[in-house]
Amino acid sequence: MKRLLIAVVACAGILISTTAVTSAAPTAPSALTVSPAIVELSANKGQSSLVFTLSVTNDSPNKVSVISRVDDFTALNSTGSAQFLNNTTRTATAHGLAHWMTPNIPTFDLEAHATRAVSVAIDGLPVMAPGGHYGAVIFGVVPSADSSQANVVGSDAAVSSLVFLTTDTPGKKVVSLLTPDLSPIQLALPSSVDLIFANTGDVQATPHGTVTMSDPFHHEVAREMLNVDSGQVLPGTSRLYQIMFGSASQLRWPGLYRLAVAYRADGQAEGSSYEQTFLYIPSVLLILGGALLAAGLLFVLRRFIPGNLYRLKR
C-alpha cells in the first residue's frame, strides 16, 4: 500500500491556525510541521503493543509550547477527505485508534527552528477488532499573549499525522459499486460518469479496474482506468471516483450503448463487473425528426382535409 488518498494526505498536512491581534506590529506567527504525515502499521501475531516515532518541527523564529493529543478519524462519504471525530474522551470505537494511542510527551517547549522526536505507543492489540483502525496524533501550539510587549499575536496552530493500523487478523477487503446515476436516454454521449464505491468490509481498500463504453456495433469507443491515484475507501464509507471520457464525446451512431465497469479491491483474488445500457439519440436527429413530422402533418392537412374545413380549422 504505497499510495494513499490524496485528499487524506492533504488533510494530514493542513496547518490550522487562528490569530488574535491586540495592537501595533505583530510578532511572527508560529508554524509546526510533523513528519511523517501518514504512518502505516501492521501488527504481528502475538504482539501486544507497538511504538512509532514522529518528528515535530517549529518553523517559526519564536519559541513555542506544544501540546499533543489523539483523535479518531474517518473519511467523508464520496469526497474521501479525512474528518476528525472529536473523540476527546478516547472512547473505544469499531475502527478507532484514539482509545489505544498515547504520546510519551503530553506537553513540551520547542525552540525556534528546532525539531523534537515524540514516541507514540499503541496498546491493546490482542483485543482490537480484526481489520483496520484509524487515528490521528495532533500537535497544537498553546496560545500565548505576552502583555509586556505592545504588539502581540496569539496563535493557535495544530498539525496532525494520520495513523493506519492493520491488526494481525487482516480483515476483509470488500468494495461494491453503487448503481451509477446514468439516464437511460442520452442526447449526447456522456463525457464523464460518477462511480461511487462503498466499503462494506473492515479494512481500508483500494478499488482498481477499467471503465469502457461500447457502441451499438460492439465497438469500444472509450476506455479509461479506474482510480489511477490509488485513492482508498475506509470501512463504512463510500467514495466518488469521476471517470472522464476524452474520446467518447464526438458524434457517433445512434442506438444502444453499453457502459461496463470491471473492478476489484487490492488484494482480492476475484473481481466484479457491472454493465448498463442507454439509448443514444443525437439531439440533431430529434430536431430533424421534429421538423419532418411538422412538415408531414402540414402536408396531410392540406392534401386530405377539404378547403373549407381546413380554413375553419385555421
Grid cell, residue 106, equals 503530553
Residues of the chain with pLDDT under 50: 1-29, 147-155, 310, 312
Residues 212, 214, 218, 221, CA torsion sign: negative
Residue 130 lies in a domain: yes
Q: What is the pLDDT of residue 145?
A: 59
Q: What is the pLDDT of residue 212?
A: 96
Q: What is the pLDDT of residue 285?
A: 62
Q: What is the pLDDT of residue 269?
A: 79
Structural domain range at position 192:
175-281
Same domain, 155 and 179: no
Residue 302 lies in a domain: no
Residue 293 lies in a domain: no
Q: Classify residue 299 by burial, with Cβ atoms within 10 Å: 0-12, 13-18, 19+.
A: exposed
Same domain, 91 and 236: no
Same domain, 276 and 225: yes
Among residues 166, 192, 227, the one where a domain terminates is: 166
CA angle 206, 234, 171 (to 5 degrees): 80
Same domain, 192 and 274: yes
- Work out how many domains the chain is built from and give that number: 2
Q: What is the pLDDT of residue 311?
A: 52
Q: What is the pLDDT of residue 6?
A: 38
Residue 289 lies in a domain: no
Do 240 and 75 contact (CB within 8 A), yes or no?
no
d(CA 264, CA 227): 11
Closest CA to 153 of 30, 52, 54: 30
Same domain, 147 and 120: yes
Q: Is 171 left (phi over 0), alpha (psi -120 to 50) or beta?
A: left
Residue 309 lies in a domain: no
Same domain, 98 and 239: no
Residue 244 lies in a domain: yes
Residue 305 lies in a domain: no
Residue 296 lies in a domain: no
β-pair partners for 64: 110
CATH number at residue 61: 2.60.40.10
Q: What is the pLDDT of residue 188?
A: 86
First to last CA, the chain: 75
Same domain, 130 and 180: no
